[in-house]
Amino acid sequence: MINCDYCQHETKFVSSKVVYGVDYGMIYLCRPCGAWVGVHVGTVKPKGRLANAKLRKLRVKAHKAFDPIWMNGKKKRGTAYKRLSEWLEIDYEDCHIGLFDEAMCRKVVEVCQDYEL
């Protein structure tokens, strides 16, 4: 298990059906504060860090701003993430929206609006 970044309680490893009503795989869920993170299929490895409702909404916005850059076929996904890491001034290995906090998600939206990656 992992401890929650928000309230420090221990998370539970549960089906995502608990939060989505449909089973999309397993998640780590902090029941006291409602933060969760999905895991990679067939593993117990989190896809990122726990997110509360506010951070989840910001991650969705970040993906909506960034994903079209590589999904339109003009850039390969890896190339787009490499360029994003340069604009954010972070290591490419750390450039994953699931790892970002609120401030970094806002920066992704800003960078994607202001620059062609």
pLDDT digits (tens, 9 = 90+) for 66-76: 999 899 888 89
Q: How far apart are CA 110 and CA 52, in angstroms?
A: 21
Residue pLDDT, tens place only, 75-90: 899 999 999 999 999 9
pTM confidence score:
0.88
- Extract the tokens encoding 95: 């450039």
**Cβ-Cβ contacts under 8 Å for 104 (sequence gap 6 or more):** 88
| Amino acid letter, residue 90 | I
| Mean pLDDT, residues 90-100 | 96
What pLDDT score does 75 carry? 86
